[in-house]
Amino acid sequence: MQVHKYDVVIVGAGGAGMRAAIESGQRARTAVLTKLYPTRSHTGAAQGGMCAALANVEEDNWEWHTFDTIKGGDYLVDQDAAEVMAKEAIDAVLDLEKMGLPFNRTPEGRIDQRRFGGHTRDHGKAPVRRSCYAADRTGHMILQTLYQNCVKHNVEFYNEFYVLDLLMVDEEVDGELNRRVAGVVAYDLASGELHVFQAKSVVFATGGSGKVFKTTSNAHTLTGDGMGIAYRRGIPLEDMEFFQFHPTGLAGLGILLSEAARGEGGILRNADGERFMERYAPTIKDLAPRDIVARSMANEVREGRGAGPNKDYVLLDLTHLEPEHIDAKLPDITEFARTYLGVEPYNEPVPVFPTAHYNMGGIPTNISAEVLQTNESTIPGLYAAGEVACVSVHGSNRLGTNSLLDINVFGKRAGIAAAEYSQTAEFVDLPEDPESYTATLLDAVRGSEGTERVGAIRKELQETMDTNVQVFRTADTLKKAVGDIDALKERYMRITVQDKGKRYNLDLLEAVELGILLDLARVTTAAALHRKESRGGHYREDFPDRDDENFMEHSMAYLDPAATEADVPGIRLATKPVEFTRYKPMERKY
Q: Which residues are catalytic?
A: 290
CA 27 vs. chain centroid, Å, equals 28
Determine contact, residues 129/79, Cβ cutoff 8 Å.
no
The angle at the Cα of 91, spanning 90 to 96, to the nearest 5 degrees, equals 105
Residue 307 DSSP one-character state: B
Bridge partner residues of 316 (DSSP): 268, 350
Bridge partner residues of 495 (DSSP): 452
Determine contact, residues 67/39, Cβ cutoff 8 Å.
no
Residues contacting 19, CB < 8 A, separation 6+: 146, 385, 407, 408, 411, 412, 415
Kindly provide the b/e burial profile for residues 325-356, where b requires at least 16 CB atoms within 10 angstroms of the residue's own CB.
ebeebbebbbebbeeebebebeebbbbbbbbb
The order of strands in the sheet holding 237-238 is 237-238, 553-559, 571-577
- The H or E element containing residue 64 is helix 62-72
Start-end of H helices in 502-547: 506-530
| Cα separation values, 559 from 526, 551, 568, Å | 11, 21, 11
Q: Would you list the DSSP string of 140-164? A: HHHHHHHHHHHHHTTPEEEETEEEE
Determine contact, residues 227/388, Cβ cutoff 8 Å.
yes
Determine contact, residues 189/504, Cβ cutoff 8 Å.
yes
Determine contact, residues 254/216, Cβ cutoff 8 Å.
yes
Start-end of H helices in 260-330: 260-263, 277-280, 290-302, 323-329
CA 412 vs. chain centroid, Å, equals 17
Determine contact, residues 66/388, Cβ cutoff 8 Å.
no
The angle at the Cα of 340, spanning 338 to 346, to the nearest 5 degrees, equals 20
| Cα separation values, 104 from 48, 101, 127, 318, 367, Å | 12, 10, 20, 21, 30
Residue 102 DSSP one-character state: -
CA 495 vs. chain centroid, Å, equals 29
- The H or E element containing residue 130 is strand 126-132
Start-end of H helices in 347-453: 402-424, 436-446
| Cα separation values, 472 from 243, 478, 523, 560, Å | 12, 10, 18, 28
